[in-house]
Amino acid sequence: MNGEGGYDRRDGTHPLRRPRDYRPDGQRRRRWSRPERAYRLTYRRRPFATILSTIGAVLTTSLIAVATSRVGSIYTDSTYNSSGWAVCSTPISWTTDMHNLPPEIASKVRPQVAQAFAAWGQAAGYTFVDGGEAPVAFDNAKSTVTPVADINRNIAIYFVPDADSDRITKTVVGFASPNLVYPGSKEIVGGYMAMSADYIASVNAARQYALILHEMGHALGLADSTDPGNVMYGQVDTRAGLANGDIEGLKAIEKVCQE
């Protein structure tokens, strides 16, 4: 030992050979050793590294979402994969069966349906015409809607009571799909929309319109998007305007007219 009561740093045989670690009275100083300090700095930097990793993950997810939002016609039935409507001289008609809605609700919903078709038509160049009321046959087992009359290039709209559909739940308030397509060209010439009559009758106009706009996209051939900014985002809220992902998705699956 040296005269200050500490260990001589030149004594290489003792593991505690740093005199600065001890006070003159022989008591150990409360100091961090270099390895401990290095660990502490590494530990403190860890949250910052986590933040950077999180930001990177969010950016990657956002880019994937944008790409996904432009992919359409993905359905369980492979018949409709890569299918789409065509811009033809013959317009696409839409018909409604609203007998399950109270008259005062039906009178408010019909203009919203017309507005939604106008929005999609303007975005993609389609011409839609109101075909009026037309009864449909609803198949609960297959979850399909078929117009009673044979109408070409038509989208049938039906409002189904929750009790009549096994597919309608508290979280699923609508479904839609193409239901007629030319196998060779993949041109869609028929589709349907089914929406919960109970939901439509219980929510405000903004939510009614958002649901109609979303299900209309499915009938036109688009799948759900992972981008919350798109109307085709899987969780319907009150989005009332089409985003670039919605529009580009529809244009990407447009087919050559077969008429």
Whether residue 168 lies inside any domain: the answer is yes
pLDDT digits (tens, 9 = 90+) for 95-125: 999 999 999 999 999 999 999 999 999 998 9
Sign of the torsion angle spanned by Cα atoms 119, 122, 126, 127: positive
Which of 95, 68, 61 is closest to 222 using CA atoms?
Answer: 68
| CATH number for the domain that contains residue 220 | 3.40.390.10
pLDDT at 79: 75
Residue 13 lies in a domain: no
Residue 62 domain-assigned? no
- The reply to whether 133 falls in a domain is yes
Please choose, from the candidates 220, 229, 224, 230, the residue with its C-alpha nearest in 3D space to the C-alpha of residue 125.
Answer: 220
Would 141 be classed as within a structural domain?
yes
33 lies in some domain: no
Give how many domains the chain has, as a whole number: 1
**Residue 216 near residue 92 (C-beta atoms within 8 A):** no
> CA-to-CA distance for 1 and 95, rounded, in angstroms?
100
Tens digits of residue pLDDT in 19-41:
555 566 666 655 544 444 443 44
Instruction: Please give the residue range of the domain that contains residue 202.
Output: 73-252
Cα(16)–Cα(11) distance, integer angstroms: 9
Quickly tell me which residue has 């405000």 as its tokens.
204
In degrees rounded to 5, what are phi and psi of residue 255?
A: -110, 165
Residue 101 within any structural domain of the chain:
yes
- Nearest CA-CA partner of 156 in 130, 182, 181: 130
The answer to whether residue 189 is domain-embedded is yes
Question: In the chain, which stretches have pLDDT less than 50?
Answer: 1-12, 17, 32-45, 51, 54-74
